[in-house]
Structure 1
Amino acid sequence: MEWQTDILGTDFESCGFEARGIDGVPRRATLVRHVPGSAQRPAVNGAVLFLHGWSDYFFNVALAEFWTQQGFRFYALDMHNHGRNLREDSTGGYVAHLDDYDAEIGTAIGMIRSGGAGNGEPEPLTLMGHSTGGLVAALWVSRHPGMVQFLVLNSPWLEMHGSSLVRRAAQLMVKPVARIRPLTVLRLPERGFYYRSISSSAEGEWALDEKYRPPLAFPLRAGWLSAVLSGHTRVARGLDIDIPILVLLSGASANGMIWRESMRHSDAVLDVNIMALRAMTLGRSVTLERVDGGLHDVFLSASPVRDDAYARLARWIRGFITDRGNTSATDAASDEGGQE
C-alpha cells in the first residue's frame, strides 16, 4: 500500500486498496488522510474515520481541519463504487448488501491503527458517517462491538420518508426485483435540489468534482434500495450500541418536487423528525443536536449555521472524549494549543 498526494492538495494523501468480503469478492476503496504541513495540536485524542453518503465522496477540507485542530488524526474512506474508486466500468454507488462495506471499513481501521502513536496502548477511534454513510457506520458499529469508541452521525439516513409502513410497502415491491434482477434501474423522479444548494457550479459555495459527485446522483437500482431498506429495518428493531453517539440533524426538512427557497436552509433529502425518532433506537447514550438552518450535510450549511454545528460537535467532543479521564493527554494538548 502506497500513499500519494491526494486530489485535495498537499495537505492530504490517499491510498487505494482492495478488500475481500466474506463473499470472496475483492472491492476497491480509497483511504484519505489529513497530513497538514503547518504545526498542529498533537493527536492526543486518537483518530477519526469519516464515511461519506451515497453518490458522494470526501471533499470537505474544513471538516478534516476541524478534527485535526481538536487533537485527532483525520481519515476519510471513499467506499467502493464511489468517488476516487470510480472507473468506466463501475456501477456507481451500487452495493447489494450494506455488510459488503465491512471488509473495507475493517481494512481502513487496520491501516489507521498501524499508523498510530505506537506506544502499545490501543488508540481511541471515532467513526463518523453522513447520510447513508451514517446508516452504514451505525450498523457496522453494532456488528463490531469494541472496535470503535465513539460514533458521530451527520444527518444519518435511518428510515424512509413517511413511516415504517412506507418502508414495508417499498420492501414488498422491491425485494422480488432485487432478488432476480438486482441491477434493475428504478425509474423514480430525480431532483438536484441538494446539489443546487451546495455546489459552486450551481448556487452553493463548495467545489465539487462532478466525476465523483454527479448532480443527479447515480441510478437508483433495485438491489441497492433493498439493501438500504434492510438496514432501516435493523435500525428500527434497535441496535443497542453501547458507546457514546452524537447525531446532528437540521432543524427542519423541505421536501417536494418543486424548488423552494427554504431548501437553502433545511434538509431537502430526509425527514429530520423521523430521523430524530430513529436516533433513539441506536443505543444507550445518544445525544441529539438539531441545527437550525442546516442543510442535509450540516457542515456544508451557510457559514453561521456550520459554525453552530461545529460548536455543538466541539462541545460533545469535550464532554465525551477529551474529558474522559485522560487528563495528561488533554493537558498536553492544551499546553501545546497555548503555545501556538
Structure 2
Amino acid sequence: MEWQPDILGEGFEACTFQAAGPDGVERTATLVRHVPDPAEGDAGSRQPERAVLFLHGWSDYFFNEELAAFWAGQGFAFFALDMHNHGRSLRPGTHGGYVADLDNYDAEITAAIGIIGSLRPDGSAPLPLTLMGHSTGGLIAALWASRHPGQAAQLVLDSPWLEMHGSPAVRRAARTMVEPLARFWPESVIRLPERAFYWRSISSAAEGEWALDDNYRPPHAFPVRAGWLSAVLTGHARVARGLNIDVPILVLISGASANGMFWKESMRRTDAVLDVNTIALRALSLGRTVTLERIDGALHDVFLSAPPVRADAYARLARWIRAYVLGDGGTEGPSTAPP
C-alpha cells in the first residue's frame, strides 16, 4: 500500500485502494491518515494506543484537520475514509455520491480497517478501533458495526441520519413512492428543491470558516437518485427494527433544528439538515449503551460549528472518551479541546 501526500498538505497522507463488494464489483476508496509532527509535543512523539476511523456524510469528504488533531491529542491514530463515489475517490463517469445498497460500503470499510491494522510496526495485534461517522456516514457506521460485531470497540456518531424528518410514517410513505423507480430506474434523478443553507453556514466561500473544495462537496450536493434514496430508507428501516450494537455508542446532535425553503438566521446555530428530535429518539434503537449529547448552537456537523460551540462538543467527546475508552469514569483531566 503506497501512501502519497494528501490534498490537505503537511501532516496528512492518503492511499487509494480497490475493494470488491458483495456484488463482486471493484470500487475505489481512499484512506487518509494524520501524521502528527514530532514537534507537536505528546501527540507527535508518543506511539498511539488506539485508532479511530472517520466516515464522512453524503456528498462530502474528509477535510476537518482540527478533528484529526483532537483525536491525536487523545492518543489515537487518526484515519478517515473517502468512500467510493465521494471526495478523493470520485472517478470520471461515475455518479457522485451514488450507492444502490449501503452494504456496498462494507468491503471498503473492512479493507480500510485491515490496512490500519497492518501498520503496526512490530507486527503486534491491531490497535483497538473507534468507528466515527457523520450524517449518512453515521448511518453507515452503525449498520456496519451491527453486521460486524467485535470489530469496533466504540462508536461515535455526529448527527447520524437515522430517520427521515417527522416520523417513521414519512419514511414509509417515501419508500412506497421511491421503490418502483429504484427497482426499474435506480439511477434516475429525483427532482427536489435545491437548498444550500448548510453549505452557506460552513463554507468560507459563503459565511462559514471552512475551506471546502466544491468539486468534492458541491454547494447543492449531488443529485438525489432513486436507488440511493431507496438504500438510505432501507437503512433507516433497519435502525428502526433495532441494531443491538453491543459496544458503547456516543451520539452528538444539535440542540435544535431549522428547516424550510428560505434562509433563516437561526440556521447559523441549528441543524438545517436533520430533525434532531427524531434522531434523538431513534438513537435509542442503536444498542444497549447509548449516550446522547445535545449541543446548543451546533450545526449539522457539530464539529464545524462556531468555535465556542465546537469547543463544548470536543469537551463532551473527551469526557466520554475518558469514561468509555480510557475508563477513568470521565473525571476532569487536562484541557482537551484542539488549539
- The TM-score with structure 1 as length reference comes to 0.94
State whether residues 100 and 227 of structure 2, in contact with CA within 8 Å, keep that contact through their aligned partners in structure 1: yes
State whether residues 53 and 129 of structure 1, in contact with CA within 8 Å, keep that contact through their aligned partners in structure 2: yes
In structure 2, the gaps of 5 or more residues are: none
1:13 corresponds to? 13
- Residue deviations 1:261-285, cap 9 Å, x none? 0000000000000000000110000
State whether residues 254 and 267 of structure 1, in contact with CA within 8 Å, keep that contact through their aligned partners in structure 2: yes
1:269 corresponds to? 273
State whether residues 239 and 286 of structure 2, in contact with CA within 8 Å, keep that contact through their aligned partners in structure 1: yes
Evaluate the alpha carbon distance shift between residue 281 and residue 43 of structure 1 in structure 2; reply closer, same or farther with a 3 A threshold. farther
Deviation at 1:123, TM superposition (A): 1.8
State the alpha-carbon separation in 2 of the partners of residues 15 and 44 from structure 1. 20
1:75 corresponds to? 79
State the alpha-carbon separation in 2 of the partners of residues 170 and 290 from structure 1. 28
Deviation at 1:322, TM superposition (A): 1.3
Deviation at 1:154, TM superposition (A): 0.1
Q: Does 1:253 align with 2:253?
A: no
Letter in 1 for 2:279: M
1:28 corresponds to? 28
State the alpha-carbon separation in 1 of the partners of residues 126 and 82 from structure 2. 25
1:319 corresponds to? 323
State whether residues 77 and 108 of structure 1, in contact with CA within 8 Å, keep that contact through their aligned partners in structure 2: yes
Letter in 1 for 2:252: L
Size of the aligned set, in residue pairs, is 328
State whether residues 45 and 321 of structure 1, in contact with CA within 8 Å, keep that contact through their aligned partners in structure 2: no
In structure 1, the gaps of 5 or more residues are: 326-333
- Residue deviations 1:169-206, cap 9 Å, x none? 00111011100000010011110000000000001000
2:115 corresponds to? 111
2:311 corresponds to? 307
State whether residues 181 and 222 of structure 1, in contact with CA within 8 Å, keep that contact through their aligned partners in structure 2: yes
Deviation at 1:43, TM superposition (A): 4.1
State whether residues 86 and 96 of structure 2, in contact with CA within 8 Å, keep that contact through their aligned partners in structure 1: yes
State the alpha-carbon separation in 1 of the partners of residues 31 and 112 from structure 2. 7
State the alpha-carbon separation in 2 of the partners of residues 73 and 199 from structure 1. 27
- Residue deviations 1:77-118, cap 9 Å, x none? 000000001122121000000000000000000000111354
- The TM-score with structure 2 as length reference comes to 0.94
Letter in 1 for 2:242: G
2:245 corresponds to? 241
Corresponding residue SS for 1:290: strand
Corresponding residue SS for 2:211: coil
1:37 corresponds to? 37
- Residue deviations 1:261-316, cap 9 Å, x none? 00000000000000000001100000000000000000000000000000000000
State whether residues 297 and 309 of structure 2, in contact with CA within 8 Å, keep that contact through their aligned partners in structure 1: yes
State the alpha-carbon separation in 2 of the partners of residues 221 and 122 from structure 1. 38
Summarize the alignment of residues 1-340 of structure 1 with structure 2, pairs less than 5 Å apart.
1-39=1-39, 40-41=42-43, 42-116=46-120, 118=122, 120-323=124-327
Letter in 2 for 1:89: G
State the alpha-carbon separation in 2 of the partners of residues 109 and 122 from structure 1. 9
Evaluate the alpha carbon distance shift between residue 118 and residue 243 of structure 1 in structure 2; reply closer, same or farther with a 3 A threshold. farther
State the alpha-carbon separation in 1 of the partners of residues 111 and 28 from structure 2. 11
Once superposed, what is the RMSD of the aligned Cα atoms?
Answer: 1.6
State whether residues 194 and 296 of structure 1, in contact with CA within 8 Å, keep that contact through their aligned partners in structure 2: yes
- Residue deviations 1:147-179, cap 9 Å, x none? 110000000000000100000000111011100
1:331 corresponds to? none
Deviation at 1:324, TM superposition (A): 6.8
Percent same amino acid at aligned positions?
A: 71
State whether residues 46 and 125 of structure 1, in contact with CA within 8 Å, keep that contact through their aligned partners in structure 2: yes
State whether residues 43 and 68 of structure 1, in contact with CA within 8 Å, keep that contact through their aligned partners in structure 2: no
State the alpha-carbon separation in 1 of the partners of residues 231 and 49 from structure 2. 34
Letter in 2 for 1:30: T
Deviation at 1:121, TM superposition (A): 3.5
State whether residues 55 and 134 of structure 2, in contact with CA within 8 Å, keep that contact through their aligned partners in structure 1: yes
State whether residues 117 and 125 of structure 2, in contact with CA within 8 Å, keep that contact through their aligned partners in structure 1: no
State whether residues 14 and 32 of structure 1, in contact with CA within 8 Å, keep that contact through their aligned partners in structure 2: yes
State the alpha-carbon separation in 2 of the partners of residues 19 and 7 from structure 1. 22
Corresponding residue SS for 1:142: helix
State the alpha-carbon separation in 2 of the partners of residues 184 and 90 from structure 1. 13
State the alpha-carbon separation in 1 of the partners of residues 110 and 25 from structure 2. 15
Corresponding residue SS for 1:241: coil
Letter in 2 for 1:5: P
